A and B are shown apart, each in its own frame.
Chain A
Amino acid sequence: MARPAAPPLRERLRAVGRPLPRHDAWDKVQARTLYAADWQMPGMLHAAVARSPYPAARIRHIDTAKARALPGVAAVLLAQDVPHNTLWTDVPGQTSEVGPLRARIQVLAQEVVRFQGEPVALVAAETREIALHAVELIEVQYDPQPGVFDPEAALAAGAHQVHEGGNLLARWAIRRGDPDRALAQADVVIESVYRCQFIDHAYLEPEAGVAWIDTDGVLTIRVSTQVIEHYRDVAEVLGLPQNRVRVIGPYLGGGFGGKEDVTVEVFLGLLAWRTQRPVKMIWSRQESLLARPKRHPFILRYRTGAARDGRLVAQAVDLLADSGAYAYLSALVLMYAAVTAAGPYRVPHVAVDARVAYTNNPPTSAMRGFGAMQMVLGYESQMDRLARRLGIDPVELRERNALAKGDALPIGQPLDTHVAVVEAARRAWEALGPRRAPSTPAHRIGRGLACNIQPYGRIVWLHDWASAWVGFEMDGSLVVRTGTPDVGGGQAASLCQIAAEVLGLDPGRIAIHIADSALTPLAGTTTATRQLYMSGNAVLRACEGLRRQIVDVAAQLLETQADTVALDAGDAVAHDGRRVGLPKILRECARLGVSRSHLDVYHAPAGDPVDLERGGGRVFPDFTFGAHAVEVEVDTETGAVTVLRHVACHDVGRAINPQSVEGQIQGGAVMGLGYGLMEEVVVDHGVNLSTLFATYLIPTSLDVPDVEPILIESGEGKGPFGARGIGEPPIAPPAAAVANAVEDAVGVRITELPVTPERVARALGLLGDR
């Protein structure tokens, strides 16, 4: 009776695991995809925003008479015209008694402006040119205030108060064991301060959208967003029932966290409601760089204690982040930082003290990596220094300390899936191959390694869920409906591959409708590396439900048992090879009254807020681990760093589409190199000096090497088919890997990002002034 063992899952898969071309890519190469700014409506107005030129000021008076009198102007709105002028962001589980439990953002500035570029007034006009002209005619009298522009200064006594209630927005603390004593007794203690900078998401598609009152009276907003659920925010601001606002999310021209908070949708809602006409708003690149939230700069103070054999005994970390002028998601970003600050390592004694302060700098909020990525510079620079101090090979040192399945993080969360740190480090390092020779006698070659831990999925306290609907048409083609925004990572196409797998269909037989808050079941945000995990599981469940319905009917037609029926190439197949086509099965479903569609919901593992300081337990659903290895060449005459090779290895659980996964890793790694080597939003006393693409430099094809991705497929992720999230993780290791490689090459440690030629030259003593 012995049955042959089933082949491994990977070999049984038909669609999942294949590098299938994405359906959206066919549209995009023909430029058929209509992004948010490409939408046109009859009678459409064009909108623009008047913004504060000052980072800190009181508004004495606003005169809009000239703007209103300009021919072609349809509406000018100020704070007093906004029914509810406050947007709220919930911060569940916030432990600090200081600072607001809920983050507040004013829609339009009322009495006070707190950062340069803060919106003060809105205009809608017949043309964009008239709208921009009207913005210039709005006369605002400001009383500039001193402001505060540094998080340390903001927390000093007597500092300018950005908001009432003090400048400390949030704090988190984590304690395990007795780190002070462990540090005092450690054989080696490495102590250092690291600093990282403001950067911008710099997606190629600036923020844009069109709003109109649809024929059913519903305020409809088609907007480039990672979060269609912002329809609720629009409703709250306008004082409308939530079911009278609809957000449609077209395919995005990139998001990276920058389209997670509201952008244009509330402004569009206000203007469309006021004028009762369609309104379009597009932010210029310069406006986007000036005024959109950035990545948090951090000051990271690390004290790392180890035994002579390299085993870590203690990690004491003090973190201070700059929230800029508004809270947005700062409290949560800080928590991601605190939870991961000790890195993917076993550390018996840990203290993390994390604070985030208000300043009059540009606000900071979500960006790919969300606090956890900034920590890698800290913990991986420390590991590298430790390896050098003790004369231990960098891979070996990580092997001695790496977390493993069954270990618990300092917060007490057990790791219940595979932890691939050691394998990733080894494979990435080995893939660098033979060391290259320097190109001239003035150049030096160096290598660096950096590992990382990055959560995927939202905090378990948020009780996350996603839903999806799948249904067959009578011809056997399939429709998938789910609220997932596609930011460009192939979210929609991966869902089609999952459906194709479960239902035995060619992906070409599937049409997917995404991201419409009125017509697609909500699937939550495309953020937090959660969408493949969450809506992937939702589509999987919905397809499995539909499959059961279909197979039951097919079994009757085939006169066999349902559990012996397979779905393949649009047919149901009995174990003896007899087939019946979907159209016949679907007609039979109709006759029998069996539904041809299925709606399902995936609820992520949930939990109540825990006290991090007391090691309360689970905060995240799971984590993705990885390691990057780079080889760099440093010019000892100029300090210029060139990355020659870059290998990026991550445990992706299972690659639903290997080509898309590789693309995420390569793109994330290059964005991480931009962060490590060249990108910085320079802010001087609250004034943003990087408001042009000519001054805010992101990597071109000449600035980066080909990134070589290595996929580990442990099959142990919590997503469909054992997948893990891979959107955010690859951005995190490159900066630290580069800093480590620079020390390997020329013996100087760069502790502040980006690693510019100037910083390296200064460290090498080439500039003579330090």
Chain B
Amino acid sequence: MIFLTRKAEFSSAHYYWIDDWSEEENYRVFGKCANRNGHGHNYTVEVTVAGEVDPVSGFVVDLKQLKDILEREVISVYDHRHLNLEVPEFRSSIPTTENIAIAIWTRLKNKIPNARLHRVRVYEMPDLFADFYGEETGGEQA
């Protein structure tokens, strides 16, 4: 089993806000991220796939193909967009780093031939990142 990771970048705007909450409550929980004018980041996404090395090509997956899938499914939808206003999945969930990792996983799931999606890592900035491994349950402890 080999793990292969492809990196890509996108730049987007977002804000954190829950409509059912008052402005005071939103600012108490989300701080300056609640500013409705939005703010932005240069995001980096790392997609890790797992698979066996093809004995003929020597590839787990064709990197060019993986790059094209990532571009088509994620980067072309997220890059230079306002995530809350222009990306469908964030009409019903806040574009936190955790939710972006889950959303990218959902977009890529079953789209990568000959390999299994292992991990999606999203860096909001170099000192903050979230990982999602497709675990739908667990983590109940808090």
Query: Are A and B co-members of a single complex?
Result: no
Q: Give residues in B with beta carbon < 8 Å to A.
A: none
